[in-house]
Structures are given as C-alpha cells and as structure tokens.
Amino acid sequence: MRVVELEARHVRVALRRKVTHASHVRTETDNVVVRCKLSDGSTGYGEGVPRDYVTGETIDFSIDLLKRSDLGKPFDADCDDFVQAVHLAERLKLAAAPEDDRGILGNAARCALELAVLDAFGRAFGEPLTRVTELVAPELYQFRPEVRYSGVIGNPRGWKKRLYPLVYRLAGFKQVKLKVGIEGQDDVKRTGTIRRWLGRKMDLRVDANEAWAPADVAARIRELEPFGLTSVEQPVRHEDVACLADVRKQVKTPVMLDESLCGLIDAERAVSGGWCDLFNLRLSKCGGFIPSVRLAQFAKRHHLGYQLGCQVGETAILSAAGRHFATSVADVRYLEGSYDRHLVWESLAVEDLTFGRGGRAPALVGTGLGFALEPARLDWLTQRKESLLG
C-alpha cells in the first residue's frame, strides 16, 4: 500500500460570528486542506490553519511550501501495516527555511499533510487515529469514551456579556476560558462580572494573547487573581517571553505558553528558561498529531501540564483529529475544540462533530479520522487547488 496522489487546497470558510482577541479580529478563515489517495483507493484528508502571527505562515506560503518540498521520496516505499504508516507520517519533513531558528515555519502545512496520510492509511488498515497515540507514546495512552470541552468567552457586547457566562453555567460546563487584554476593555471589572455570572465553582482561566508589556504583566495577573484563575495564557509577546521566569516568582497563577510554544525547540527553551507551567498544544500550530503527542511527552517528563487548544476556524477535519487526541492522551488539563456548529458555516462533515451539553463529546471510533467528509462542500469552498504528487 502506498501514496499515489496528494493534493493541496486553499479553503475559505466564513465564521458565524466575529472573533476578537488581543492579537486579531477575524470573520473568516483561510485553511489548507490536503487530500491523500492510496493505491487501494483509500482517501484521507488533513487540515492546517496558517496564522502569520503564530508560526509565520500565510495560506499561500503553506501551499507553496508543500509544492516545493520533496514529497515523492518519502512515499516511494509501500506500507504493509499501520505501524509502518505511522512511522512514515512521523518522518515527514517539508523544505527548511534558513531563517527559521525555531523550526516552526510550515507547521500548519505539515499538519495538513500528516493528518491526510494518517487518515488514508487508518481507513485502509482499519485503525482509528487514537491508535497513533498508543503506538507513539504508550505511556501516555489512555482511551476515554467521552471527554468534556471548555467554553470560551471572547469579547461579547451588550446583553451577550451576561448571556454567554450564564449559558455556560446552566449548560453544565466545568471550565471556561476568558479572553483578556482587549483594547478598550477593563479586565478587572470584566473578569469580576464574568466570575459572578459563572459562579464560584466554575474553573476559570484567562488568555491575554500577548497583550501585556513585560513591565506590567505581573501586576496585571495579580489584580485578576482574586477571581480564582487556574492559569493565564501567553501574557506577553513571544519576543518578551523570557521575562516570564521572573513573573512566575511574583504571581500565584500558573503561566501557559501558546504562541511561544509551537515546537520542540520552543519547549526546550521554555523548560531551560523556566518560562511556564503549562503548554497549549494546538495540532496545526505544533505541526500535526504526532508532534503534539511528542510535546505532551516532553511536558510530562519535565513535570509541566498541557492543554489541547484549537485554531479559530477549524473545520471538522481538525475537530476530529483533536477529538482523537483528547480521547487518547492522558492528563490533558483543559480541552478546546469541536466548536463546529457554533463557529463555522461549513464544517465539511456529513456528521455534526460539535460538542454537546456541558461540553460533552464522544470518542470517534471509526477508522482514520472517523467521520465522512462531503467532497461537494469542499469543492464549493476551494479557492485554489494544487497537485503535489501523482
């Protein structure tokens, strides 16, 4: 069994609502989708969400990177079983960029390619993506038939400021993340209001999306600590991340890295510098399913926590991949993702993968990514299509 066709697409998906945080305002998303076809006809799909302010990628860069990478050589040999296919997927590398000292430029593109390959071979050999965790990191493997996702509150206006936290509370959610550091907003007043409507039992964390200056960050965190935060995510720009070693000594709240945690080099630097307590693992940002599992392994070895995050605008492809990660990797502190019906107009799936009441979502037990994609919807949303192999 071998790969005989690879195709990359620029897919543009409209969002159901404007998404605002300290780094960006978004009403649509431009994603890269890769289709992989095997010699037996099995077909798989992968997705990446390039963000220039995270890994330096634009949609055109991601597709052009895939085109100029030597993808023929890795697929010359046959895979006789799923174990060999997983080894093949882990070895996938795209063309390197000399200026990329973090080794992250192209992570979204690699994620799309890797997921397409794993999905195709999973369907061919009758294996779900959760099997990848068991093969790659058996010490982390823990299958769960159901998981619970967090709620997220961005920058709602007017009556929605009270509606969102109340809905999460009444729907039985256990965790909520609040976006802070948004220009024109009073974080202390706003966090206090959100806490009152969520109730004291709700696990509440905040995400500053690089909004605070190094000189102010400790004070900004301390003034929010009376509201019982369980973590603060990416409080400063990546360029200033080294200041967090001192900040952690001045605050009680655990610090999580996101934009500053996109690959193994970032992880090694974070541990060496003592910059954080938690990693935010997002499949697209971190280069795919297997690299994200490896980062969870690394965090575990160094006594750090980790959450599964997601990119704004993920379709069902990344939602499904995240579900497999969530239901197979042990000790994930928080879960984000599967917002499909609530966020994107077109999820690309026949099934609805959106989480249910209280953030509950079942494991996907089908082969590959475990859902059926609608090719007609993919065609309708495609802005550009390029052949990579075959």
Domain boundaries, the chain: 3-128+373-389, 136-362
- 191 and 206 in contact (C-beta within 8 Å)? yes
**183-215 as b/e: b if 16+ CB within 10 A:** eebebeebbeebbebbeeebbbbbbbbbbbebe
3-128+373-389 and 136-362: identical CATH topology: no
Pick the CATH number of 136-362 from 3.20.20.120, 2.40.50.140, 3.30.950.10, 3.50.50.60: 3.20.20.120
Helices 316-326 and 107-125: crossing angle, nearest 10°?
70
Residue 207, marked binder: yes
The sign of the CA dihedral 283, 286, 290, 292 is negative
Categorise residue 41: left if φ over 0, alpha if ψ from -120 to 50, beta otherwise. left
Q: Rounded to whole angstroms, how far apart are CA atoms 63 and 386?
A: 8
Residue 258, marked binder: yes
pLDDT at 98: 84
> Sheet containing 25-38: which strands, arranged edge to edge?
43-48, 25-38, 3-20, 382-389
Torsion of CA 105, 122, 45, 18, to 10 degrees: -80
pLDDT at 21: 64
pLDDT tens, the chain, 390 aa long = 999 999 999 999 999 987 766 566 778 999 999 999 999 999 999 999 999 999 999 999 999 999 999 998 889 889 999 999 999 999 999 998 888 999 999 999 999 999 999 999 999 999 999 999 999 999 999 999 999 999 999 887 777 778 999 999 999 999 999 999 998 899 999 999 999 999 999 999 999 999 999 999 999 999 999 999 999 999 999 999 999 999 999 999 999 999 999 999 999 999 999 999 999 999 999 999 999 999 999 999 999 999 999 999 999 999 999 999 999 999 999 999 999 999 999 999 999 999 999 999 999 999 999 999 999 999 999 999 999 998
- By three-state DSSP, how is residue 1 classified? coil
Element spanning 22, H or E? none
Residue 239, marked binder: no
pLDDT at 152: 95
pLDDT at 390: 80
Q: Rounded to whole angstroms, how far apart are CA atoms 368 and 124?
A: 8
Q: Can you give the pTM of this predicted structure? A: 0.96
**CATH class of the region 3-128+373-389:** alpha beta
pLDDT at 383: 98
Q: Rounded to whole angstroms, how far apart are CA atoms 372 and 144?
A: 22
pLDDT at 22: 58
Helices 187-198 and 160-170: crossing angle, nearest 10°?
40
